[in-house]
Amino acid sequence: MRGARRFRDRLKEDLKNPEFRKAFDEEEVYASLAIQIAKIRQKERLTQQELAKRLHTTQQTVSRLEDVHNKSYSLGTLIKLADALDKRLKVELV
């Protein structure tokens, strides 16, 4: 736990830097989205191939949607994804 505490303390300090904070917040949005997509797909017991079929695309495309480093989401793709997973898409600026 000591290492985790040191990491949190360091992160707290780093987040005081506006440039770091901006980059961190942006990365968190993309990573969170990718993780949500993968978790929902798995909860629905769908393979990437099965979800791809629902989206009329390839398994590789679904894999990219679940990649935390992917930064090429479009609103249209997210709307189609929500529909394919029988979910609502909610976009907020907070």
Q: What are phi and psi of 47, to 5 degrees?
A: -85, 165
Q: How much is the pLDDT for 1?
A: 65
Rounded distance, CA 83 to CA 35, Å? 18
First-residue to last-residue Cα distance in the chain: 32
Which tokens go with 86?
A: 């029988």
Q: Please identify every stretch of the chain with a pLDDT value under 70, giving residue numbers as ranges.
A: 1
Sign of the torsion angle spanned by Cα atoms 48, 50, 55, 57: positive
Q: How much is the pLDDT for 33?
A: 95
Q: How much is the pLDDT for 87?
A: 97
> What are the structural domains of the chain?
2-84 (1.10.260.40)
Q: How much is the pLDDT for 4?
A: 80
